[in-house]
């Protein structure tokens, strides 16, 4: 990913984090790891149709044909993407094309993404949300999305952290 080296650092770290937590209870390890490695593929300039990376990426993965529908849907809906889709006027397309789910696997993907900084560094979810707000500025669409979605994002991360805590205390 020579075009987006910083994004690639983030994706590699998200993929590694997903691999590290893939053994959590009720998490589909294979689909979590695949979705983590593919979650930002829609940023690739050649794939941009709508300019909304979760939808563009999921559409591309669906076209590839060998990617399970659930992985495409996890990519489409990662990190509360439906709220950003609403901001962009794309929620109907997103929801009609890709099933949204609430599951330990979806939460784990959000956790991996939202506890990894733009350069691949580990971050607490609050730090990550603040970093996104600062990077985009107060009036940007992405900042509006984060402001609306922050509670859901934090809850997903907390659910995964609770699973992590339970799994380490029972090992």
pLDDT at 100 over 90: yes
Q: What is the pLDDT of residues 67-88, one digit of tens each?
A: 999 999 999 999 999 999 999 9
Q: What is the pLDDT of residues 42-75, one digit of tens each?
A: 999 999 999 999 999 999 999 998 999 999 999 9
Structure tokens at 149: 């979605």
Q: Global pTM? A: 0.94
Domain residue extents for the chain: 5-165
Q: Which residue has the tokens 């733009």?
A: 118
Closest CA relative to residue 113, chosen from 28, 4, 42, 11: 11
Q: Residue 1: what pLDDT? A: 44
At residue 168, the 3 state secondary structure works out as helix
């Amino acid at each position: 990913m020579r075009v987006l080296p910083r994004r690639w650092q983030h994706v590699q770290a998200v993929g590694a984090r997903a691999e590290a937590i893939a053994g959590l209870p009720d998490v589909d390890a294979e689909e979590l790891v695949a979705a983590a490695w593919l979650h930002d593929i829609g940023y690739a300039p050649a794939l941009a149709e709508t300019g909304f990376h979760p939808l563009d990426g999921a559409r591309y993965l669906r076209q590839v044909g060998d990617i399970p529908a659930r992985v495409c849907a996890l990519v489409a809906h990662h990190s509360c993407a439906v709220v950003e889709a609403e901001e962009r006027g794309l929620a109907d397309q997103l929801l009609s094309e890709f099933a949204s789910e609430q599951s330990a696997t979806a939460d784990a993907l959000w956790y991996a993404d939202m506890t990894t900084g733009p350069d691949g560094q580990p971050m607490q979810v609050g730090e990550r949300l603040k970093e996104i707000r600062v990077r985009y500025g107060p009036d940007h669409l992405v900042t509006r999305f984060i402001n609306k979605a922050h509670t859901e994002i934090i809850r997903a991360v907390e659910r995964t952290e609770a699973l992590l805590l339970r799994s380490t205390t029972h090992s």
